[in-house]
Each structure stands twice: as structure tokens, then as C-alpha cells.
Chains A and B, each alone.
Chain A
Amino acid sequence: MNAFMADVGRYKREVPRRHRSVTALVMRRAGLQVLGVYRFGQWLRRSRHPLLRAGLMPLRWIVYAPLRQVLGRAYGISLADSAEIGPGLYIGHGGGIDLRHCSLGAHCSIAQQTRIGPLPGAIAGPRIGNRVWIGAHAHVLGSIVVADGATIAAGAHVARDVPPRALVAGNPARVVRWGYDNTVILGDERQDNAPLGMVNVSDYEPGLG
């Protein structure tokens, strides 16, 4: 639940104050709906008490699995159980998002057409640190490490380790800038619930976006 509230905090930043209730945000943002279902699935997986587990198993197959399928198909956002996602993920737009066998740290951002997972035929996927911004159409594939504070530019195809606070771009991705500060595009934990002003109000409102 805490992880999900951190996700909601990420989305609060770009909407006017009157739309900032959790219900309004979940109704408006497809990414938040999918994240909510994903967090619910992780909670079901993580609960350890045997009696609780016995009670939760039916929930998993009756509630969680169909919801995941339906929402994943509707919005084109697939967050697999094998992806470990830290609190405070932001999904810009949906469509073509595929996260499998990977781990993401806290306060990351992804966008449409992002693929994060193992290379075809392999099992080990990337390990991504905290505060990593991943742009649209980026592919992060293979058993690699993306360090804290890195920025993966839109359209980058990353197949090698990314050092901390580096900006990588291109195909194959190369470091374009060292010591790049991604706070402007990623936002700050302290600003998540702050008044509007940093990011423009979404042009894709009203409706789901």
C-alpha cells in the first residue's frame, strides 16, 4: 500500500489540485490502474502467514489474474510478476510497455513502448537502480546494471551497464553526458505533493492518459 501511495504521489505532480484525490487520479490515469493491480498482486505474493496465504490464493486467481489480463490488454501495459518494481513508479503513456524479469528501484519513470527484460532465450534481466528516468521507446535488455540516477534517453537501446548519473542515448546506447542531473524531468520526492508549477498540466486531459 505504501508503494502504491508513492506511485500516486508521482502522478499528483502534474494535475491541478482539484483532481488530486486518489480516486480521481486512478480513474484518469491508465498507468496508475495497472500499477494498483500490480501492487495488489505483489502484496498477495509477499504475504507469508500460512492461513492468510490459504485465504489469498483464490483472490489471486479470481481477482488479480483477470484484472491484470484485462487492464494489460486494454492499455498495452504489461508489468509481469517477475518484475520487481520499487515504490513511486511513473508510467507516462501506455502502449507497448513490457517489464519482465527485472528489478527497478524507487522513484523511476518509464513511458510508452519501453521494454525492460532479458534478451530472447535468457532469463536474467536488467537491475535498475533508484531515480532512473527511462524515456519512450527505450529498450533495456539483457543482464545489465543501470546505476542510481542514470537517465536513458527516449529511443535508446541499452545493452551494457550504465554508470551512475550518466545520460545514455542512441542505438547502441552510449554515454552522452556524465553527471547528468535528471531532477528536472524526473521530479523530486519532496515535490510530489507540492503545488503545481513544475511540470505543465497534461495536455491529454480530460480522460485517461
Chain B
Amino acid sequence: MIEVWPALGTDIAFRHRLLYPHGSGPWGWVRASVLSKGMLVLAVHRVIWAARVAKVEGRAIGRPLGWLAAVGRLVALVVAKAYLANSMRIAPGVWLPDGGHVVLGALEIGPETVIEPRVTIGMDAVEGGRPRIGRGVWIGSDSLVYGAISIGDGATILPGSVVTRHVPPGAMVSGNPPMRLDTHFDNAALRATLARRRSATRDQLPGLIEDARQ
């Protein structure tokens, strides 16, 4: 149980930083810690991970944590339609705006990553490998990332992309099959803008990307 709370606190702090880049009063912290689908998915993952660690270490709390994880999985499935792989590690400080319909089967997801709804990561039963997501990545909605690939730090995957090859750090890819639109794109502004909306549709994005480039 010990591992769950600090990680969730880091998630909330990251969400707060996305929502209020210039800081906020106490009300902003309330807003950042309101339970949402994304928070639920992250919390369930933290419990699954804590149960796994406790079982490996042979601690007695592993068994009740495992039960809690099984219940949490069911809640995450019914509420958020989210599937979470057992052996995945999501670093503390990740945000899932909305968080619905995600299937997360990565090896590792780095901190400060934003994953939009309806994203699938990893199809190891088919492709025989799982992706490794770096730090500060933005994965747009309806995207699909699979295969034994790595997504570099600060990469941007625009909505609706199907990524099956390595993405170098800082690159922006889009499309199906994907094309590299930019080699050095700073997605911080994009992530912050989108964090304030529920999710961005395809036609809203070009304007937002142009704003972020300037």
C-alpha cells in the first residue's frame, strides 16, 4: 500500500502542473485531485503494481492487495473500459485526460507522459513485443502503438496514428502508416492546451499545433 500514495500524489501534481502552469490557489489543487476516469485507471495500476511488488518480496499484504487489484481491474473495465497489463510499469507523474477505452500493455511508460482516450499500446500476443514509452510523450486519441519499439523522450504522436516503428526523441509522427512531420517539436504547450479540454478532435489540432510551434 505504501507505494500507491506517493505515485498518485505525483500524478496529481503533474495534472496540476498541466492545468495551471503558472500555479494556482487551493481550489486548483482541489480541481487537480478530483477523481476522474484517468485517475481511476492510474490508481488501479498503482494497486496492481504494489500487489506485484509485495508478492515478489513475499510480504503478507500481497494477497489482500491482489484481491483489491482484481476488484479494481473490474471497476476500471466497467467504468473506464480500460485494460491494464500486469507486467507494465507506469512511472509516477503520468496523466490520462478522460482515460476511457485505453488498453495499456507497454513495458514501461515514462513520467510526464499524457495518454489520450481510446489509445491501445502493445499487442504482444500478435506482434511478439511491447513498446517502451519514454518521458514527456504525448499520445493522441485513437492512436495505436504496438510492436517491440521505443517511443523517444518528448515525442508527439498525433491522434489516429498507427505507430509500429521506433520514434526518435522529440519527433512528431502522424498518420497510418505514420509519417514524421517534425523532428524537434516541443509538445509542452500542446499538452497544456489540451489538458484543459476533455479531448481534442482531429480538426481542432492543426490550429493548436501551429500555436505551439510559434
Contact = CB atoms under 8 A, between A and B. Distances in A.
Contact of B78 (A74, A157, A203): A74
A204 B125 contact: no
B41 interface: no
Nearest to B100: A95
B120 interface: yes
Contact of B81 (A14, A76, A136, A205): A76
B15 to A, nearest CB: 23
Interface string A59-91: 000000000000000111000000000000000
Nearest to A156: B176
Contacts of A199: 125
A135 B164 CA distance: 14
A128 interface: no
A169 B177 CA distance: 8
Contacts of B144: 136-137, 154-155
B146 A95 contact: no
Contacts of A74: 77-78
B108 interface: no
B120 A113 contact: yes
A76 to B, nearest CB: 4
A32 to B, nearest CB: 14
Contacts of B124: 200, 203
Interface size class of B (residues with CB under 8 A): 20 to 34
B154 interface: no
A207 B126 contact: no
A92 B160 CA distance: 20
Contacts of B84: 204
Interface in A81-122: 92-96, 112-113
A204 B78 contact: no
A112 B77 contact: no
Given A135-B126, A154-B162, A169-B177, A204 B81 contact: no
A169 B81 CA distance: 26
Contacts, number: 90
B175 A171 contact: yes
10 contacts: A95-B81, A96-B81, A112-B83, A112-B101, A113-B101, A113-B120, A136-B103, A154-B126, A154-B144, A155-B176
A33 B155 CA distance: 39
Nearest to B122: A203
A22 B81 CA distance: 24
A50 interface: no
A137 B77 contact: no
Interface in B144-158: 144, 146
A94 B77 contact: yes
Nearest to A113: B118
A164 interface: no
B73 interface: yes
B77 A30 contact: yes
B212 interface: no
A123 interface: no
B34 to A, nearest CB: 23
Given A76-B101, A112-B120, A137-B120, A204 B85 contact: yes
Contacts of B125: 14, 92, 185, 199-200, 202
A170 interface: yes
Given A113-B142, A207-B70, A93 B176 contact: no
The 3 closest A-B pairs by CB, nearest first: A155-B162, A95-B81, A207-B73
